[in-house]
């Protein structure tokens, strides 16, 4: 596996690379990321993983600063999954001085995460479009864990006539049900135990006649940002809570879709 930091070098490396599968990430890899690498490996000639903690999608600088980072470990894990190229650019490489062009997926970026993280999806859509233009993948791989992100990116791909397929893979969970997230390492054992209420509440809600009311009742005592049914594909019951200084999001498909 090669680690590449500049757009020029990456374009050079990908010349004649055949069918490329791209997995955009912010690093601090866990089994969720690895599941995307495996899916990409299974159907692509060349697998590129990007590792970029995208400042444009963080409204809060403290959140950006404390985001977990461990490039050396990430490189080992990616290589072990057969990733060919780890693209790990600097912020200046992707946002050079004078940068001023943004992608706004208007309606889908509002509500849920968009309400609590203003500008988040503008940052996500912009960086993903840049990565798609730089890497020119045939397929790009995302996690259902970030259901609204998948919906926003699908809309962007359709609206801007992008010539690629988006694959969305199921949420990978710890044995106790907590959705894997790079941020989970920031949780104290007590916070983790409280955070476990989120997947339990969402699963209970998804099985009930009143999904939102049932989930909210189960989350009583936690700081809840939102619980809502979102009409994505598939429809999901989505929620976000705060435990300590960490925000957790999760969702479960409705209408009998399996995860």
Catalytic residues: 33
Query: Shortest distance, CB of residue 144 to ligand AMP, whole angstroms?
Result: 6
Task: Name the segment binding ligand AMP (CB under 6 A); options: 31-39, 115-123, 203-211, 238-246.
Answer: 31-39
Q: What whole-number distance in Å separates Cα of residue 77 and Cα of residue 60?
A: 29
- Piece of the chain touching ligand AMP by CB under 6 A; list 2-10, 25-33, 97-105, 210-218: 25-33
* Residue whose token pair is 């920031």: 186
Kindly state whether residue 137 participates in binding ligand AMP, applying the rule CB under 6 A.
no
Q: Measured between alpha carbons, how far apart are the two ends of the chain, in Å? A: 31
| Sole binder of ligand AMP in the list 89, 123, 137, 143 (CB under 6 A) | 143
The residues in 38-57 that bind ligand AMP, with binding defined as CB under 6 A, are none
Dihedral angle sign, alpha carbons of residues 230, 236, 241, 246? negative
The residue with its CB nearest to ligand AMP is: 143
Size of interface with ligand AMP, in residues (CB under 6 A) = 17
User: Distance between CA 191 and CA 17 in Å, rounded?
Assistant: 45
Residue 50 contacts residue 22 (beta carbons within 8 Å): yes
Interface pattern 152-171 for ligand AMP (x via CB under 6 A): -----------------x-x
Per-residue exposure over 63-89, b if at least 16 CB sit within 10 Å of its own CB, e if not: eeeebeeeeeebbebbbebebbbbbbb
Residues contributing to the site for ligand AMP (CB under 6 A): 25-26, 32-33, 35-36, 142-143, 145-146, 169, 171-172, 179-182
């Amino acid at each position: 596996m090669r680690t590449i930091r500049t757009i020029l070098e990456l374009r050079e490396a990908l010349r004649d690379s055949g069918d490329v599968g791209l997995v955009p990430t912010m690093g601090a890899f866990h089994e969720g990321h690895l599941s995307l690498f495996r899916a990409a490996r299974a159907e692509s000639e060349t697998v590129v993983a990007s590792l970029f903690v995208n400042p444009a999608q963080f409204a809060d600088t403290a959140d950006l600063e404390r985001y977990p980072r461990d490039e050396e470990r990430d490189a080992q894990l990616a290589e072990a999954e057969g990733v060919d190229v780890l693209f790990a650019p600097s912020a200046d490489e992707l946002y050079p001085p004078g940068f001023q062009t943004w992608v706004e997926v208007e309606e889908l970026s509002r509500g849920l995460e968009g309400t609590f993280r203003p500008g988040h999806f503008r940052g996500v859509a912009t960086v993903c479009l840049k990565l798609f233009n730089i890497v020119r993948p045939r397929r790009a791989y995302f996690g259902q864990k970030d259901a609204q992100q998948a919906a926003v990116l699908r809309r962007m791909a359709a609206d801007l006539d992008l010539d690629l397929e988006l694959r969305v893979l199921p949420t990978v969970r710890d044995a106790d049900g907590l959705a894997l997230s790079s941020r989970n390492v920031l949780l104290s054992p007590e916070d983790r135990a409280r955070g476990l209420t989120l997947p339990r509440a969402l699963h209970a809600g998804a099985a009930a006649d009143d999904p939102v009311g049932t989930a909210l009742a189960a989350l009583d005592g936690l700081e809840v940002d939102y619980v809502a049914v979102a009409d994505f594909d598939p429809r999901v019951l989505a929620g976000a809570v705060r435990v300590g200084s960490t925000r957790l999001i999760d969702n479960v498909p409705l209408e009998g879709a399996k995860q």
